[in-house]
Amino acid sequence: MSGGVPMVAGSNLTVSRRVARDIVGPVVFEAVLAELSSEERASYMDSTAVSWVPVAHIDAVMERLAQRSGRVPEELVMELTRRVQEEMLHTLYRVLMRVTTDAALIERTQTFYAKVYDTGTLSSVFPAPGRCEVTLSGWPSISNLQIAGLGAGVETTLRCAGRKEARVHGRRADDGAFYQCAWRR
């Protein structure tokens, strides 16, 4: 799929593009599209349920959207991720997640990750009830934007699954990223 270039599933971008446009407004969104290289624009705008898009192209779009809209890039990515994740989980699946054990829920987060990214793997340990440590390995070059977005995705999944006061703090690690997660049931 990637030839060593980290990729994200095109299916993930369908909702993401619409939400990004809603957040920054159509004028800013269209201006950013005009600034992109033809390759970046095509991979971002023409992605489908079966295509894969270089993560670097997504990061380029997010950086430009943030700059043009006067936002901090990581904060824009976190807001976008939360809104997209909430929309995608606003289904019967959301109800089922509320009765799922914490371990099974985190395990599903790992499954979601593997469907969205072609690089790296997630693993987790539970040091105490309501606590989890998630490690992303196999992606030492992950961008700060992707670290922020992944953390926001895990936090939103926990919140949508009925975990109260869900908090996720992420940081870069030698081989990827490390996240400390906490919540109440």
Q: Residues with Cβ < 8 Å from 95, sequence gap 6 or more?
A: none
Mean pLDDT of 72-91: 92
Is residue 179 within 8 A of residue 151, CB to CB? The reply is: yes
Mean pLDDT of 52-58: 96
Torsion angle in degrees (nearest 10) through CA of 105, 132, 15, 176: -130
More confident residue, 109 or 145: 145
Closest CA to 112 of 64, 140, 84, 154: 154
Mean pLDDT of 124-130: 91
Q: Decide if pLDDT at 1 tops 60.
A: no
Q: Which fold has domain 101-184?
A: Muramoyl-pentapeptide Carboxypeptidase; domain 2 (3.30.1380)
Work out the burial of residue 181: count CB atoms within 10 Å of its CB; fewer than 13 is exposed, 13-18 middle, 19 or more buried: buried
| Segments making up each domain of the chain, as ranges | 7-87, 101-184
Work out the burial of residue 14: count CB atoms within 10 Å of its CB; fewer than 13 is exposed, 13-18 middle, 19 or more buried: middle
